[in-house]
Structure 1
Amino acid sequence: MIKNLTTLIVLFCFCLFSLNAQIVYDDFSDGDLNYSPEWNGNIEDFIINDTFQLQLNFEDDPLRSSYISTAISNNSLELKEWRFDIKLDFNPSNSNRVEIYLASTTENLLDYENTGSIQEGYYLEIGENGTEDGVSLFYRNGQTTQLIARGGDGLFASAFDLRVRVRRDENAIWEIAVDPSKGESFEVLASGQEASLSAATSLGFICYFTSSRSSSFYFDNIYFGNYVFDTIPPSIEEYKIIGNNQIELIYNEELSQVNNSNYSLQPDDINPLQVEQKDDTVRITFENSFENGRNYFLLAENISDLKGNTAELDSLEFLYFELENAEPGDIIISEFFPDPTPVLGLPDEEFVEIYNRSDKFIDLKGWKISDDTESEGSLPSFVLYPKEYIILAPASAKDGYANFGEVLVPSSWRSLNNGGDSIEIKDSSGVIIDALAYDRSWFQVEEKSEGGYSLELINPSLICFDIKNWKGSEADQGGTPGMVNSTYDSTFTGQPARIVSFYSSSPIQLEIIFDKKMDMESLVNASYLLQSGDQIDSIIVDRQNENSVKLNLQNKLQNDVTYTITIEEVSDCNGNIAEDLSASFLYDIERPQLDSLFFLSDSILLLTFTEPIDTLSAENLSNYSLSPQITLTKAQIWSKNQLLLIWENRWIAGFPYRLTVDSISDLSGNFMTQLKQEIIMKKPAKPTFNDLIITEIMANPKEDQILPNRQFVEIYNATDQLFSLTDVQFMDERDTVNLGLNYIEPNEYILIAATSAVEDLSSYGRVIALSPWPNLNNRGDNLQLVTDEQIINQAFYSESWYKENSKYDEGGWSLEMIDTGSPCLGISNWRASVDEKQATPGAENSVMESNTDQSGPELANAYAPNTKEVIVDFNEPIDITNVRRNQFRIVPEITIAKIELLDLNRIKLVLQADLKAKVSYTLVVDNLTDCEGNIILSDQNQTSFALAEPPVQGDVVLNEVLYDQKSGGADFIELLNISDKYINLIGWIVKGNNNEEVIFENENVIISPGQFLVITSDKASIIKDYPTSHVAQNIYETSFPALSNGEGVVSITSANEALTEYFEYSDDMHLPFLRTTDGVSLERIHPDAPIDKTESWNSAASSVGFATPGKENSQRTSEDIDFGTIAAKPKTFAHDQPGRNYTIINYQLENVGSMATVKIFDMKGNVITTLANNETLSNTGFFRWDGVDFNGRKVRTGYYIIYFQLFDSNGNTKVVKETVAVGF
């Protein structure tokens, strides 16, 4: 809220001279009711709203009146003034009224309701029934009131918003005045005399209301203190231009008389022709018109208000302008943001910035913005000043871009396509003011074309379009909406013109087409030289075709002659000079002939001609007819000498048709004779397994390489057949893109790449543009060529395929297949290019050599995702053309209903009967071959699998932990399946102190009943560090969190969150006599031992190498933990012997809360160690003695007594003694 400026200035200035006179002032701009001043009462019923007013906001139940008050520090009422703004959003009545306490002797303004109240005060009341509502002043003494004055009848009968002023003079005469404008123009409504009370302690408001009015009372600018007098001179509050020589001023208060001498216009010190004044408004007329686009200063001198306050000098700056219509090019598109993701600093929204590069003031009302669709968005009225920018954006982006500049929201917004689109700006009459059609190449830096950067115009002053005048923003935040572009360069003029076409338009005329508009005078004066020696008779230019020039020759052109023209020097319309431009063409007067026909699909025919053909004639549908008739929907140039014909319906295979082709011309204007071709449609050949091969991958190009800085994939047709690619798709791990209407010749190499890369790569072979391009991952990706029916070829590459780390690290080297005759070998058949260009796109690979596979496939894994399916994995691609059901059998026998190919290494078996839980099955595969023809061997053709069941708590336990690995080694944990289930560990979570990992995130790993399974990040180091105590097939390498040395936490949670093992470990749990814990695991002494008890864990024995990864623990007790009364098991144990270097002292008690002391004595009665001292016990549990004394030293061989003393809550004592023997 903008507070009333006059009131604030008056009060502020008054306070400067009489600080002590002000007792209360609050405009609530601090948003605080508890400080300066402090308000009391029912403050929970009031708020300071968004416009900084005190507002009633009653939300309680039941309804009651609410008051708010504040203290008067100087409590004298003589010669005092009260001021406040009040707004009631309803028609006041007896039920909905307000009492304004000017003075009260109690802080509680409702104290008078109490019996025996001694409250005195003065208050105004507004609100009564009827239509004569006025304002009344009362004196209160307890529950007795006396009317002092009343006025303003009818003024308060309906909703109102005004300022009230009350004064009391030295004779106790009261005066009530109001100003509906909330300024200083007060009208006195009533007065009266009452002197009963001369001092008070509080002022405030009481609101009486019904539920519908519980938030409709507003108060502001509350003042109590000495009289406030107007001592502020008048000032100009607002102005408006009236016509081309008048200006109207509105002051903040009514003025005394003014005349011409009070005003002058600067510069030039011009006095008005006429000055007219009424109240607070002055209209000034000058003799001459204001100049368009000029800034003026209006000086006002000696302007007085009605109180005699004079402003000696006041000034006003204003800009005068006249609106003009825009011409094309006056306003241009200067920046746009088609792809805001990823966000670098700008809002995640599109925008288009336009720039007024003219000297005109232009109103954009009714202007339109559109893209490559028919949808247009209209702009609201907005005057765009010369050399100013405006941001156009959707409504959702307005607030975000408001931080960068002025934003206009069109009536509708069509999203800009990331890969390319058009933008058009029209004025209200539909005239195109500026337009462009962009693609990703405009960014000039490929990384910026991937998103997050805007496209910026480099030099907005260039007269003519130049594609190099655009580039990706150089701003860190990704763009510069509403301001000068980060790429701005006023000296940039673009690139010199190039010849894009040179041909004959008649036998005696040549035409040259340039890639941009040219300087017409430069074209006329240029020197043109024909290598053939032919003379140019005249030069013709056309203002309607500023990118071309025609040359009339003295003699006719000769057939089958190549003509080359050279232009010594010519300028484009931006002044860029091109020197020694050259172009050639073959003059041809022979008619084009049809060379071949090929069906890309059963409704699309590719025609190949003997020479390049004219687009206009080739794409004219009337030049073709088919019998029997099928509607031709499109004729489209495919390449210079190729044409696509697309019919509405399919051709019938094997049925004879007649195609008539007529009036097709070549580029020299030679028309072919009518052709009638008999055609029997044969369905186009589709590639099958390994007919097409991915032979080269450029995943990580770089800027300074010899080849273009572009990703590409090379595909080779390894057959002697021509294939349609219409139904072929290219896939990576994220995207699938159709290769579209295309083909591949026998033994041809083709490249696939992003649309923006086609031009750069086209010199290396035929390039198929894919949009969107599946961006290749530098570290590795899964690439496939597929149809709806099958996989054709795949390359699941990784960084290890390079074979040379330096080439992978350097970047810019492609991966090449070594032997295209062995396309299924995977990593062994790929390496980094050795070519000097670092790749061989479109050509035979530089690493080509024989590389055959003589090993059969291996059955790697089998997994049952449900009761009716088994997923089978092989270690290499298999021959998918020769896979049969009878090659697979399951023991115990289950019939296989069908097989499905998932990829070249993976097959799904669909079963007739359900798999049973808790049964181990064996899968056997016979007579299967890889795609080189090698058969699977009997020692590699079978594996076990089972139907997994979901775990519950206790099915799998944490059995061993190595948290302090050997130097250069790895941590591990060991799980033990103590259930009778087969349990899948996919998606289980292992947590350490500070991180967590999902183990086997995409791998089905089954832990069998009774199986020990080790999880680590480095299987090889575990095998190396524990060479004699590991079981390799039980060790799995996967993601694994770092475990803290010394002490820490490890927890395991199943994917269904039904099972959790949580273990807090520390070095104190190890045997005390160990010199180091490095490389020593903690073993759980029994699967049933409580995981959170120190006694349940022990250091792995030195005799097994200090860990037992994947096998039974060295410290596992052979005794079950049965918690029977009090007993030691085993009775005999020895140091450094697996499973026998400690004893367990079990107890089972009748009463809860018993205490125990447990000590170990030697046979001489000496205390060797204490296991418990007055320790409170649960019903059941155990202690463990490792055969060490108080100091952690191993005890001598011999007999020892376990002394177990119990105390229950009734004072009863029981002693149990057990003898154990410690041996060698």
Structure 2
Amino acid sequence: MKRTFLLISIFLLQQCIVEAQDFVDDFADGDFSTSIVWDGNTDNFIINPEFNLQLNGDCASGGSNYLSAVFTSLDSVTWTFNVQCSFDPSSSNYAKVYLQSNSADLNGALNGYYVRIGGESGSTDAVEIYKQEGTTSTLVLRGIDGNAAVSPHLGIKVIRTNSAEWNLYVDVSGGTDYVLEGTAIDDAINGGAFLGVVCNYTSTRCQSFYFDDFIAGPIFADYDAPVLQSVSVISPESLELLFNETVELISAETITNYSVDAGVGNPLNAARDFSNPAKVLLTFADEFPQEILLHLSVDNIADEAGNSMSLQTMEFLYITNNLFDVVFNEIFADPSPVIGLPEAEYIELYNTTPFDISLLDWFLTDATEISDAFPEIILPTDSFIIVTDDANAALFSAYGLVIGVNNFPSLNNEGDNLTLFSSEGIVMHNVQFTATWYQNTIKENGGYSLEMIDVFNPCQGINNWIASNDLSGGTPGKKNSVAALNPDNVSPMLLSVYPQSNDTIIVYFDEEILSSTLSTTVFTIDNGIGNPIAIIVEGSIINSVTLLLSTPISSSILYTLTVSDISDCSGNIIMLGNTIQFGISEETFPGDIVINEVLFNPATGGYDYVELYNNSKKILDLSDLYIIELNMDDTSMISEFANVSVSGRLFFPGTYVLLTEDISNVAQQYNRNDISNFIAITGMPNYPDDAGVVLIQTKTFVNIDRLEYSDEWQFELLEDDDGVALERVSFSSPTQDANNWHSAAELIGYGTPGYQNSNYNAAVIADNLLHIEYSVFSPDGDGYQDLLMITYQTQAEGFVANIRIFDDAGRPLATILNNETLARKGFVTWDGVYDDGRRAPMGIYFLYAEFFNLDGIVTKQRKKFTLIRKYE
């Protein structure tokens, strides 16, 4: 019995609803001329097999076709309908749905209102309501940008109240789960006799418009009280409330209708939003307590029909934005050539916190540009969001959550300095990337993104970023292809100190540190200086700090800086008593710095490097130097050059520095853990593989050292010299002496970047005419006595020498010198290779030397030595 009553009730309710509506057409009857007559360009429309009204227009030239039907509208009306465009609308292809018109000819002059879908260039098309008076159209209200931009399929509801308030609702999925997109007041035109559709199209879109499910009639009686849908914290003491419908002004602005627990109480003020009367802004006297689950109670709020809500409670959290809450997780700076992703730049952000975060009014900068503020959007906990230029947002809609931003910075392919700011201007994350971070010479040429390995290790630079391994070139909107645990468990270290003046020094660290851990008390300088009087930092995450000293430093004293209690981004504290020396530099002269090692033909995927040695007893300033490649065809011309150190860098006596474009690449290839004396050179010269000229020059054009190398200087028995560095043998012998260079030993990896060479020889020239440094040598590439070192010292200038190697049978095997003029003292070497290119076997050998000059003085000497090998 109860079931029967229920069915009858539902049936009567449905009948009442239909009878209360003036217009209903879902085209289920298969035409548009029977139950409801549509008139106009009837030859240009059909009812398709899915029972939609479909444009069937002029496919030769396009046009503007319409249909209209009789509908006498009132001042209080609801319209709902479905519209679909199977293309991205433009200024030439868009739809209009007339809600009311005083004329059946919708392409002529009329008075009425219509909804426009599309009609713009770009990707910001929105659903809009226009007023038309004669042939002039005026915008009444605009929905959300982009909702009508990409092949829109929309469910639309429009309500006009008897007070001339227009409300636009849209369901972007084409259903009836409408969302309020805008509200406006306009009473210029009252009533109408027709409704209808207009399709403006080009020939290629002649069958691409679809309409369905038209319902129009009086506003249904509202018996439902408003419901609170969401609460957003928009400032430390303000909440924004969103209801499911327009709320009545007086009840909405009564402060006693709202209360927050935990002692917060009632708001000081409640204000209904003018542009969206379903929103209410609450302002409280004090800031909300942080990271505590709070409860907002709302009661007695009414809608415009007078329905009042009962008590409703909703939870919210107040969380301040802190460093690294949201981090850069992926950077797509070079989208060409296309591998599989859209050809458009983007960055991806990740929410590292357990809370949802509003990105409203956040913004992004690079080295030269600032984006517009982000629109209102929530980034859920443990989630990603793609940020791109507004014009490209639609390209990434299928990949996940997207923000389209006006003035999105143009990312530099070679590297850029990106910073993310919260709405309060707080730095969330900073990344200064270069092309070397790809760690792949193919992928750095474009089409692949840079991905962060461990999102909870945000400050490790190249050690925590690498090119994407995804087949499409990147992973926008999802977990990175390279994602893995990569924690930073290493304490920060002092890298260098550079005196900017006699009372100002810059301190550099080997990784980024938190500026919040810095103070004057953590720095101490000996020799009577003490703590600095002030520190200067720029930003929350830094790798350098400027110290202002109370007492000027002296050029005659070597100082020691001690640092304590400084933390990196991962919370690692600098080791107790971490110290570094510094002093005031002196002018650099020729010979003070020598070129000590050169890698000009790196292995595949590797990078050139040049090692320098401070051969003086002075502290020198590397920022005063250029590294240069001269043109081999005309050595007076420069092919490439770069600053040795853009920021100041001291060079101490008896130490080495390694210059290269990619520090990590060189360190990995040559197994170097300590890279504190490596300097990354942007635009490092790319030296020729066969022969070239390396020049070190001051900024005042003084040549400090110059090397014209050749690949013929490499060890003759090397099967392949790719990745084999040339090492200097002696600091005291001329740079351009071919005998002063030898291939780096095999057992140490064919290179000694940043430390003593495998072929280094510190032999002191003996007083006698000829001396063999080692009576036994072993040219086996293990870095130990690989060369027969032959030193000499003549009694005067002008001597000429012949030096040859013989076996114990007296057979001549190798020529070291052949009638060559000598300096007063020097050395030559033999690498254990015969003149015919054969490798000398183990055994006893003899060196025969003849010295003579133009005065007729002739001296002959013979030395015995032994050649051994490990593997014979």
Larger CA deviation: 827-836 vs 568-577: 827-836
Match of 1:910 in 2: 547
8 Å CA contact 2:372, 2:408 repeated in 1: no
**How far 1:977 sits from its partner (Å)?**
0.7
Higher relative contact order (CA 8 A, sep 6+): 2
* 1:1223 alignment counterpart: 865
After superposition, give the CA deviation of every residue in 1:1076-1129 in whole Å (9 maximum; x if it has no partner). 7948765555434333455655677899998765315636352369xx9xx725
CA distance in 2, matches of 1:965, 1:851: 31
> Counterparts of 1:532-611 in structure 2 under 5 Å?
543-544=134-135, 571-572=199-200, 578-581=209-212, 587=219, 610=243
2:418 to 783, 797, 813: 783
Distance 1:1103 1:689, change over 3 A: closer
Structure-2 change in CA distance of 1:938 and 1:1134 (3 Å): same
Give CA deviations for 1:938-965 in whole Å, capped at 9, x if unaligned.
Answer: 59x5555555555332210123446577
Residues 913-939 of structure 1: per-residue CA shift (max 9 Å, x gap): 445557665554433444554544559
Over 3 Å counting, the alpha-carbon distance change for 1:870 and 1:1143 in structure 2 is: same
Change (3 A) 1:1120 1:755: same
Please report the TM-score for the alignment, with normalisation by the length of structure 1: 0.40
Superposition RMSD on alpha carbons, in Å? 7.0
Match of 1:869 in 2: 505
Does 2:570 align with 1:927? Answer: no
CA contact 2:566–2:573 (8 Å) conserved in 1: yes
Query: Identity, % of aligned pairs?
Result: 20
Shift of 1:873: 2.7
SS in 2 for 1:506: coil
* Alpha-carbon distance in 2 for matches of 1:705, 1:1215: 78
CA distance in 2, matches of 1:910, 1:498: 77
Residues 927, 607 of structure 1: CA spacing in aligned structure 2 closer, same or farther, 3 A cutoff? closer
Residue 709 of structure 2 aligns with an amino acid whose one-letter code is Y
The answer on whether the counterparts of 1:1118 and 1:1139 sit within 8 Å (CA) in structure 2 is: no
CA distance in 2, matches of 1:1077, 1:812: 32
Assess, with a 3 A threshold, how the Cα gap between structure 1 residues 975 and 1215 changes in structure 2: closer, same or farther: same
- The 8 Å contact of residues 718 and 746 in structure 1, kept in 2 or not, is answered as no
> How many angstroms apart in 2 are the aligned matches of 1:1070 and 1:981?
32
The aligned residue for residue 1049 of structure 1 is 693
Cα deviation, 1:607-641, whole Å, max 9, x if unaligned, reads 76646779xxxxxxxxxxxxxxxxxxxx9977785
The amino acid of 1:1223's aligned partner reads F
Q: Is the 8 A contact 2:328 2:431 kept in 1?
A: yes
Out of 1118, 1133, 1143, the residue aligned to residue 791 of structure 2 is 1143
CA distance in 1, matches of 2:545, 2:67: 59
**Alpha-carbon offset, residue 1009 of structure 1:** 0.9
* Separation in 2, partners of 1:767, 1:1033: 41
Determine the C-alpha separation between the residues in 1 that align with 2:341 and 2:713.
62
Q: How does 1:346-495 map to 2 (within 5 A)?
A: 491-493=60-62
Aligned to 2:763: 1118
Find the counterpart in structure 2 of residue 952 from structure 1.
Answer: 589
SS at match of 1:756: helix
1:1009 and 2:653 correspond: yes
The structural deviation recorded for 1:494 is: 6.8
Kindly state the Cα deviation for residue 1058 of structure 1 after the two structures are TM-superposed. Answer: 2.9
Aligned to 2:75: 506
C-alpha change, 1:922 and 1:506, in structure 2 (3 Å) is farther
Distance 1:1088 1:541 in 2: 91
Check if 1:979 corresponds to 2:616: yes
**Separation (CA, whole Å) in 2 of partners of 1:1026 and 1:600:** 53
For 1:955, give the aligned amino acid.
D
In structure 2, what is the Cα distance between the partners aligned to 1:1014 and 1:1088?
20
How far residue 869 of structure 1 moved from its aligned partner, in angstroms, is 2.5
Query: Matches of 1:858 and 1:689 in 2, distance apart?
Result: 19
**In the alignment, structure 1 residue 989 sits paired with structure 2 residue 627:** yes
Secondary structure of the 2:391 match is: helix
Residues 556-596 of structure 1, C-alpha deviation per residue, up to 9 Å, x if partnerless?
99x99999999897554989674424577994788999999
1:189-268 map, 5 Å: none
In the alignment, what sits opposite 1:739? Answer: 373
Q: What's the CA shift string for 1:1131-1154, capped at 9, x where partnerless?
A: 7764735686212344645xxxxx
Task: Give the partner amino acid of 1:904.
Answer: I
Any idea what SS the aligned residue of 1:988 has? strand
Which residue number in structure 2 is paired with residue 136 of structure 1? none
Asked if the contact 2:96–2:197 (Cα under 8 Å) also holds between the matched residues in 1, the reply is no
Q: TM-score, normalised by structure 2?
A: 0.53
After superposition, the Cα gap between the structure-2 partners of 1:581 and 1:917, relative to the gap in structure 1 and judged at 3 Å, is farther
Residue 859 (str. 1) matches residue 496 (str. 2): no
Quote the offset at 1:784 in angstroms. 1.8
Specify the alignment match of 2:534 in structure 1. Answer: 898
Structure 1 stretch displaced more, 1054-1063 or 850-859:
850-859
User: Counterpart in 2 of 1:1064?
Assistant: 708
Q: Take 1:898 and 1:1134, find their aligned partners in 2: how far apart are those partners? A: 61
Offset, 1:785: 1.9
Q: Distance in 1 between matches of 2:460 and 2:532?
A: 29
Once the two structures are TM-superposed, the CA of residue 774 in structure 1 deviates from its matched residue by: 0.9
Separation (CA, whole Å) in 1 of partners of 2:774 and 2:452: 64
Q: Which has the larger radius of gyration?
A: 1
Greater CA deviation, 831-840 or 749-758? 831-840
Does the 8 A contact of 1:803 with 1:832 survive in 2?
Answer: no
Note the C-alpha offset of 1:895. 1.5
2:521 is the alignment partner of 1:886: yes
Pairs within 5 Å for 1:1186-1205: 1186=829, 1192=835, 1202-1205=850-853
Cα distance, 1:596–1:943 mapped onto 2, change above 3 Å: same
Q: How far 1:731 moved relative to its partner?
A: 1.5
| CA distance in structure 2 between the aligned counterparts of 1:556 and 1:1070, rounded to whole angstroms | 93
Q: 1:1052 offset after TM fit, Å? A: 2.9
Counterparts of 2:802 and 2:474, CA distance in 1: 77
Q: How far did 1:1204 drift?
A: 2.0
SS at match of 2:857: strand
Number of equivalences: 642
- CA drift at 1:1010: 0.9
Please report how far the alpha carbon of residue 904 of structure 1 lies from its aligned counterpart in structure 2 after TM superposition.
1.7
Shift of 1:506: 1.2
Q: Check conservation: 2:356, 2:379, Cα contact below 8 A.
A: yes
Pair 830,929 (structure 1): closer, same or farther in 2 beyond 3 Å: farther
Match for residue 1128 of structure 1 among 769, 773, 795? 769
Kindly tell me: are residues 854 and 745 of structure 1, through their superposed partners in 2, closer, same or farther at Cα, counting changes over 3 Å?
closer
1:786 corresponds to which letter in structure 2? F
| Residues 256-295 of structure 1: CA deviation (Å, up to 9, x unaligned) | xxxxxxxxxxxxxxxxxxxxxxxxxxxxxxxxxxxxxxxx
Aligned partners of 1:690 and 1:792 also within 8 Å: yes
Extract unaligned runs of 5+ from structure 1. 1-488, 526-539, 615-634, 646-650, 656-668, 674-683, 1150-1154, 1207-1212
Indicate if the aligned counterparts of 2:691 and 2:710 stay in contact, CA closer than 8 A: yes
Cα distance in structure 2, aligned partners of 1:706 and 1:1162: 65
Q: Is the 8 A contact 2:507 2:546 kept in 1?
A: yes
- 2:595 partner letter: L
Residues 867-889 of structure 1 show CA distances to partners (whole Å, capped at 9, x for unaligned) of 413233353x5454444443344
| Pair 1:946–1:837, CA change in 2 (3 A) | closer
The 1:1114–1:1003 alpha-carbon spacing in structure 2 relative to 1, beyond 3 Å, is same
